[in-house]
Structure 1
C-alpha cells in the first residue's frame, strides 16, 4: 500500500477524534467550516478529501490548537487523494473497536502486589470514586507509602467491572530513568485497543483525540502511575463516563481536582496492626508472632512506611538467624537508620532523593535547612529564619514541600515531617548558620511573646552579641495570642534549648529557657526543673552572671513547687548574692521574693514577710512598678497565711490599685484570692465569696487552671454549692491531664 492511504486514514481518524474531544457535532463543525455534513462525514471515514484545508482551519479555530498541532493536521490533509486500499490493510476508523474486540480484551496491568494488607478505608474510597459521575480518582501520598500497591491491588480485585480492558502506564514522574514520551504512552494504549500501528497519529493531540474517541463507549480502567503533575496526566485521560481513571502521585495534583473533578484519596502510613501484618507477610507469621513486641517496635521505627517495612523485612529474610529485636536495636540508632533501610538502589533515602530532585532549587534548599530545625513543627517565621528570607517566600516553599508530601500541615500554618523524612533532611547540608538563625528566631519571638503576655515587665536579657536578627518577627496582638503561641511551641522551644546546649551555643540556651517564664508561671507544676538546670549550666558556661542569677531565681521557685525547698534555698541565696554583687536591685528584689516563698514553705512566715518588705523597698528605690506589685502580692499572701487578715486585706488592696483597670493576669487573680480570704477572715462573707468567685472566673477564662483550682477550693471550704463543685472538678481534671 502506498504512502497516501494511511495518511488519509490518519487525517480521518484525527479529525473524528479531535471533533469528539471538543464536544462538537458534525453539524456544528460543518457549519463552521462551510461544508456539508455529508462531506465532513466522508472525510472522517477516510473516503474523500473534500475541502480539507478549510476544515482544518475551522477545527484549529474551534479547538484553539497550537500552531504545531495545526501544521500536523495540514500535513495529513495535504498528502493527496488516497487510492482505495484493500480491506485487510485499510480498515475504516469506525471499525477499530471491532478490531480491538477481535484482538481480545487488553490488559496492561503489572502483576498484583504480594503481601498486601489492610487499607480497607482507602480501597473503599477508590471504589466510591470509581462509581462517581466523573470517575477520576487521584491517589496521593508520600514516597514509599504504598500508593501503587494499593491501586494495583484494587485494580486486580475489580477486574470484572472492566470488561473492555485494563490499561496501565508508569509515567515515571519521580524516577531517575526519565519520563516516557506521552505520544509513546498513547501509542501503547491504542495498540492495546487494536489500532494498527500505521493508523496511530504522530502528534500527542492527535493520538489523545483518537484514544478518547475509542474509549468513549467502553468500560475501561486506566491507571496512570507515578504522575508528576496534572499536565502530564491530562492527555492520557479517556473520554466518556464509563471509563475509570486512577492516577497516583507524590504530589497533590490540585489541577486535576479543579479542571477534571478528580476525587482525591490520601494514603498515609500504616497503623501498628497493619504494619505488623506486612512484616508477617514477608517473614512469616511464626517469626513475627514469636517476637510481638519487637515487631511493633520495628513498625514504629519504620514509621509505618510500607517501603521502610519491606526493606527491613527483606534484610531479616536474608538473615534467618537474626532476631527482630536485634534489627530493632540497630534501627534505634538514628545515625544508621536510613542506611539500614536501603537495599541496593531501593529504599527510603533513594525515594526521598528522587522526590526532592523534582523540586525547584530554592525549595529543596529549604528542605535541607529544615533538617537544622531542632523541633518537630515549623511555621512560616521559623522557616523564614532558617532560609534567611521573608515569611511569605518561606511559606510558598513550605506549601510546595507539602504538595510533594515531604511535609504535612497539621494545623493552619504549622507543618511537620515524618520521622524518616526528618532524618533524611538532617543528613543534608543546611548551611553553617541555619541552627543559629532558627534559635535566634525563637529568642526574638519569645521576647515578643513575653511583652504581650506580661506587659510592663522589663526585658529578660540583652541579646547575644552575634545575634542574627530574623527578617520578620511574629507580633502578638494581646495576651491570649501569646498564650496560644506558647502552648503550640512549648515542646519545640524546649527542643531548641536542648539543641543549643548540644551545639555549645550556651548564650542562646539559657535565653531560650528564660523566654518561657510566662508559661512556667501559668504551668508551674509541669516539670520545668530539667530545662532550667540545663539553662543554669549554660549560663555558667557563658560566664553571664545576670543570666545565672535569673535562671537560679526561676529554678528556685520551681523547686519550691516541687517540694525541694532546701535545694531551692541554696539556689535562691546564690541568686541574691549574684544580684547584690552586680548592683542589680531589681534582680535582687526578685530573688528575695522567691526566697520568702521558700521560707514560708518551711513555716517561717514572719521571716518571709520581712524578705518581701526588703524586696518592696528595693523595687521602689529602682522605680520598678512590676516588682513592686509582685512584692506586695507575696507580702499579702504571707500575711494572710499568718492569719493577719487586716494587713493582708490592706496590702492586697494596695497592690490591686497598681494594676491598670480592665487588665486580667495571674498576679491580679492571686491578689483577688488573698482579698477574698481576708474578707472572709474578717467576717464579710458576702464580699469575700464575691472576690473569690471573681478570681476563679478570671483564672478559668485565661486558662490559669492552677489558680482556678485554688480559688474554687477556697470557695468550697465555705460553700457546698453543686455548680462550684462541678467547676472545681473540671479545673482539676484539666490540671491533672496536663501534668
Structure 2
C-alpha cells in the first residue's frame, strides 16, 4: 500500500509515495479540489455540478460527476486511510489534514502566532508550501478565482507577518526588493505599503518611504476613492518625526542561516545537550569537537543543538560539510572560507587569495558578531584549523570520526566523545521509528534488536526500515536476522564502523530486485552530490520510467534519500558501500561504459543549454550520446538556466571526475559549455576551477582546438575577476593556437577579449586597436553577431577617447546589425555604449533614454552585468543634470546587481556612493 498526499497551493496534485499520480482531467481535479476544500464535510452534487458547468449543465451532469468520483476512489485505493464516501446526494472525503498542503499551511501559520521564538521559521515553512497560485489548473476560471482569492489573502497575510519579523530582526535591506515586487502586484494593499515604508526608513531611505506614502495615497484616491487607513497614516506621521535610521542599506550585514533541517524524531542525548548548554554559558570563544564512530549521530546531534541555541547567535549560523571521508576527497578549506565570507556579506572582489589570508579575513569579519559555525565531518585538525573563529561571542562545533586531539592541545577545544546511545534511548528511537504500540507488543524482540545494534543510531534506523517493510513483519524475525551478524556488530565498540555496517546494509541490498541491486551498484560510480532519475537511467542504460520505479524501490528501503523533489542522494556510508559493490561486482568494462553514458548525459545537457543561453556563438558539435544515455530537453532559455542552476554542483564535479577518470574530452567540453551560465550568474570560483581543469584535460588529450578554447575560457574568467596579467598569458597561447588552426572566429574572439582586457586597464587606445582587428576577423569568419559586438566595442572606445561623432556612428551601425541578427543581449550592450556616446557629447537626456532602454532589455534577457553597467552610466548622466536622489537610486540598484553576481566592480560603485554622500 502507498501513502497519498494532496496539494492545492499551486496546481491541484495527488502525490503517491513522493510521485505525482494526478487525476487525468481538469474536471476531476476540480471535483477533488472541492472535496478537499470541505475536507470531512459532505459536498452536495449540486455544488460540484455548478462548479463544472457554471452556465448550463448537461442532462447527464449528475452521472458524469459520479464517474469522476468513482475514478478518484480508484486513485485513492492504494491508501486505505483516505476515504471517499457517498452520503445522500453528495460525497465526503476524509484523511489526515496533514496530508493536505492547505491545512498544513494553516496549522503552521496558526502555530506561528503562538510560538514567538520559532515564528519566522514556521512562517517560512508555511510559505514554502506554495508552488504558485492556488488551484492553478482548475477547469473553470470563474470558479478558481472565486475560491482562490481567499486563499491568496491567507498567503499574503502570512507573508506580511514574516516580513514584519524580518524587519524587527534587522533584515530590512533584504526585504525591500521583495516588497517592491509585491507592491507592484498589489499597489493598493496598505499593509505592504506600511511595511515598505518602515523597511526603507530602517535602510536610511526615509525620503523614499515618504514618497511611497504620497504615491499610494494618490492611487487610493484615484482608483478607490478612499484615503489611507489610520495605520498607514500613523506610519507616515511616525516617519516625519523619526530620527535618521541607524545605518544605511549597503552597510547592513546579512544574517546567514545555513543549518540543515532539524530531525523531528530526535531522541535522547539529554546529558550531552545539557553539557553543551553549560559550556555555552561560559565567556570567551566556544569551541567543541565531537568525535565518535560513523553512524553514531554526531551530525544529527550537532545540528539539533545548533538549532536549539540559534537565538544565542543573532548574527547567524554557518554550516559546511567538510566531506572528510568522502570518496571524492575532503573539501578545500580555502573554498569553504570563500563561501563563509560571501555568506557574511563580503563581496567577491574583497575575498583575498590564499588560505591564510582568507582565514584572517574571516576572523576580522566575525569581530563584534555572534556567529555559530558547524563544521561537519572533518578529516583532521589541518582541514579545520583555518576555519575556526577567535572572537569572544562566536563559537564552533566540529564533528569527526577521528579524535581531534590537536584542536584540544593548540586551540583549547573541548573534546566530547559521542558514544553509542544507551538502552532506553535506543528503545525510544525504535519506538519513534516503528510506533510505540508495535515495540511494546514484542518487548523481548525489541530488546534483542537494541542489543544487536549496539546502540548505533544509523544501524537502528536501517533495522527499523527493514522491520517497517510491512506492519505484520514480526520483530522477532528481525532480531533473529540480526543475531546471525552479531560478531560484526559487536566490533562497533572499537573499530571503524564502515566495514561492520556492511552486514546491516546487505539486508536491504539482498532484499532488492535484481535490477534495483544493479542500479545501486552503478550509482556508486556517481560523483555526487546528488542526481536525478534521468542521470540514474543513463548509468543503467534503462528507460526513465523503469528507472523511476527502481529509484523508488531504493528509497523505500532507505538506501537512497530524496532530499529535494526529484533529486536523490546517498548517506556518505551508503555511498561508500555502493562504490565498493560497483568495484567488486561490476566488470571494468561495465564501469567504464556506465561512466561514459553518465558523462554523455551531462555533456549533452550542457551543450544544448549553452546553445540556448548563447545563441549566436557557434559551439563545436559533440559526439552522439552513447547508447542508453538520456538526453535533456530544456525547452527554452529559462529552462536551460534552471537546469544549469539545479545541476551546477554536479556539473562542476563532473569536470573533475571526468578528468580524474580519463575522460578528458568530456572534461574540457563540459567546462567550455558551462561558461555562458557561469558568466551570467557571476560564479567566479567554479568558472575559474572548471576552465583550469579544461586546460589540463585538453592538453592531455592533445586536441589543438580544445586547448585553444580552454585557454580562452580561462582568460575570460581571469579578466572578469581582475587577474589581468595571467589572463594575458593565456590569451597569447590561445591566439597562437587559433592562428595555427586558421580559425578566424577564434582569432576574432581573442582580439575581443584583449579589447576587454585593455579597457579594464583604462587603455582605450590599445582596446580600440584590438577591436579593429576583431572586426576584420569576424567579417572574414562571416560572424554577424561578432561583427555587431565589435562595432559596439569600437563605438564605446571612441566614446571613452572623447570622440562622440565616431562613437555615435559605430554604435548606430552595431544597433542596425543587432536588429538584423536578432541578438537582444548584444542590443542591450550597444544601447549602453550609445548612451556613453551621447554622454560624451554632453547630450545627457539622450544618454538617459539609451541607458534605460539598455537596462530594460538586459534584465529581460538575464544580462545582469550589462544592466548594472548601464545603471552606473545612467547615474552618471543623472548626476550631470544635478538629479542627486535619482543618481543614488540608480547606483544603489547597480550595486545590488553587482553584488548579486559577485562582480568586482561593486567596490567601484560603493566608492562612488560614498563620495557622493561625502
Give the alignment partner of residue 777 of structure 2, picking from 609, 615, 618: 618
Q: Could you tell me how far apart the structure 1 residues matched to 2:289 and 2:808 are?
A: 62
Q: How does 1:261-276 map to 2 (within 5 A)?
A: 261=95
Of 518, 527, 537, the residue aligned with 1:374 is 527
For 1:389, the equivalent position in structure 2 comes to 542
2:578 corresponds to: 425
Choose the corresponding residue for 1:357, options 507, 510, 517: 510
Q: Match of 1:442?
A: 602
Q: Matches of residues 129-144 of structure 1 in structure 2 within 5 Å?
A: none
CA distance in 2, matches of 1:582, 1:301: 59
The answer to whether the Cα contact below 8 Å between 2:876 and 2:887 also exists between their aligned partners in 1 is no
Post-superposition shift, 1:510?
0.8
Q: Look up the match of 1:82.
A: none
Q: Which runs of 5+ in 1 are unaligned?
A: 1-139, 142-252, 310-322, 333-339
Question: Which residue pairs with 1:295 in the alignment?
Answer: 290
| Distance in 2 (alpha carbons) for counterparts of 1:278 and 1:627 | 65
Q: Give the alignment of 1:450-461 within 5 angstroms.
A: 450-460=610-620
Larger Rg: 1
Report SS of the residue matched to 1:378: coil
1:76 corresponds to which residue? none
Matching residue of 2:660: 502
- Contact 1:440/1:469, CA 8 A, preserved across alignment: no
Tell me, what secondary structure is at the counterpart of 2:288?
A: helix
The 10-residue stretch of structure 1 (709-718 or 626-635) with the greater mean CA deviation from structure 2: 626-635
Residue 543 of structure 1 and its aligned partner are, at CA, apart by 0.6
Aligned residues: 468
Distance (Å, rounded) in 2 between the aligned partners of 1:426 and 1:288? 42
TM-superposition CA deviations, 1:257-314 (whole Å, max 9, x none) = 4469468899xx99689999955758995999699621289899957468x99xxxxx
1:568 correspondence with 2:731? no
- Is the contact between residue 573 and residue 595 of structure 1 (CA under 8 Å) also seen in structure 2? no
CA distance in 1: counterparts of 2:501 and 2:897, whole angstroms:
41
Question: Residues 197-225 of structure 1: CA distance to partner in whole angstroms, max 9, x if unpaired?
Answer: xxxxxxxxxxxxxxxxxxxxxxxxxxxxx
Distance (whole Å) between structure 1 residues aligned to residue 514 and residue 620 of structure 2: 39
User: What does residue 843 of structure 2 align with?
Assistant: 684
Match of 2:801 in 1: 642
Q: Report if aligned partners of 1:378, 1:415 keep a CA contact under 8 Å in 2.
A: yes
Q: Is the 8 A contact 2:600 2:629 kept in 1?
A: no
- Residue 671 of structure 2 corresponds to which residue in structure 1? 513
The Cα of 1:498 is off from its aligned counterpart by: 0.9
Q: Is the 8 A contact 1:377 1:415 kept in 2?
A: yes
Q: 2:554 corresponds to which residue?
A: 401
Match of 1:476 in 2: 634
Evaluate the alpha carbon distance shift between residue 613 and residue 405 of structure 1 in structure 2; reply closer, same or farther with a 3 A threshold.
Answer: same
Alignment CA distance shift 1:357-1:518 (3 Å) = same
In 1, the alpha carbon distance for the partners of 2:844 and 2:272 equals: 74
Which of 488, 491, 497 matches 2:649? 491
Any conservation in 1 of the 2:664–2:698 contact (CA below 8 Å)? Answer: yes
* Post-superposition offset of 1:359: 3.0
The answer as to 2:79 corresponding to 1:255 is yes
Structure 2 vs 1, CA of residues 653 and 477 (structure 1 numbering), >3 Å: closer, same or farther? farther
User: Once structures 1 and 2 are overlaid, which stretch shifts more, 269-278 or 601-610?
Assistant: 269-278
Instruction: Give the structure-2-normalised TM-score.
Output: 0.45
Q: Distance in 1 between matches of 2:898 and 2:265?
A: 35
Aligned twin of 1:463: 623
| Displacement after TM superposition at 1:658 (Å) | 2.4
Counterpart CA distance in 2 for 1:610 and 1:660 is 25
Output the CA distance in 2 between the equivalents of 1:578 and 1:412: 45
What does residue 736 of structure 1 align with? 899
Contact 2:834 2:850 in 1 (8 A): yes
Aligned equivalents of 2:267 and 2:290: distance in 1?
9
* 1:543-572: CA deviation from partner (whole Å, max 9, x where unpaired): 111011111112112212222212111110
- Measure, in 2, the Cα distance between the counterparts of 1:614 and 1:361: 62
SS at match of 2:684: coil
Root-mean-square deviation (CA), in Å? 4.3
Aligned to 1:716: 875
1:85-109 per-residue CA deviation (whole Å, 9 max, x = no partner) reads xxxxxxxxxxxxxxxxxxxxxxxxx
* Residue aligning to 1:47: none
Specify the alignment match of 2:211 in structure 1: none
| SS of residue paired to 1:293 | strand
Residue 33 (structure 2) aligns with = none
What is aligned with 1:530? 689
TM-score, normalised via structure 1 length? 0.55
Task: From the superposition, tell whether residues 327 and 405 of structure 1 become closer, same or farther in structure 2 (CA, over 3 Å).
Answer: closer
Distance in 2 of aligned mates of 1:437 and 1:254: 36
